[in-house]
């Protein structure tokens, strides 16, 4: 196994074994990374990563929106859906206008949500296994 396939296998294992909240955080991090790449690109250069990066951000945000479970927390889901739709509209506007101008607005929303999910993740109690001597074994 070469180093590239070993790295790919490690990433796949990290994703498949991650708890759901970690997966959500990974999606936000990916969206922000691609959004930054789009912002750094020349929107008028057909060879730049602008369009491809916007497409990747849009795919992630769409996936987050489709994953909402409205029956569990309808108010939160509706608010998140509105934010995701706003981000999607900013991405579309940037692509149609071939302009980076709308992207900082989308980035601010995604960064704020990513930070919030990070706080949720940190507030979750971690299950630690006690040594067998503490369990009376």
Residue 45 DSSP label: -
pTM over 0.85: no
Q: Which residue, among 55, 31, 15, has the nearest Cα to 111 in the 3D structure?
A: 31
Q: Which residue, among 111, 87, 86, 92, has the nearest Cα to 29 in the 3D structure?
A: 111
Residue carrying the six token digits 């960064």: 111
Q: Which residue, among 34, 68, 26, 67, has the nearest Cα to 51 in the 3D structure?
A: 34
pLDDT band at 1 (very low <50, low <70, confident <90, very high): low
Each residue's pLDDT tens digit, 66-124 = 999 999 889 999 999 999 999 999 999 999 999 999 999 999 999 999 999 999 888 87
Residue 52 has pLDDT above 90, yes or no: yes
Mean pLDDT across 4-12? 69
Classified as helix, coil or strand, 71 is coil
Structural domains in the chain, CATH included, are 3-115 (1.20.120.340)
């Amino acid at each position: 196994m070469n180093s590239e396939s070993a790295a790919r296998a490690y990433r796949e294992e990290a994703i498949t074994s991650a708890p759901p909240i970690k997966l959500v955080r990974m999606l936000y991090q990916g969206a922000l990374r691609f959004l930054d790449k789009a912002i750094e690109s020349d929107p008028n250069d057909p060879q730049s990563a602008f369009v491809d990066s916007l497409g990747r951000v849009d795919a992630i945000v769409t996936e987050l929106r489709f994953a909402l479970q409205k029956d569990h927390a309808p108010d939160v889901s509706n608010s998140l859906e509105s934010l995701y739709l706003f981000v999607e509209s900013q991405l579309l506007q940037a692509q149609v206008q071939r302009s980076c101008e709308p992207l900082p607005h989308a980035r601010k929303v995604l960064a704020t949500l990513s930070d919030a999910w990070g706080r949720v993740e940190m507030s979750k109690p971690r299950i630690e296994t006690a040594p067998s001597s503490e369990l009376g074994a």
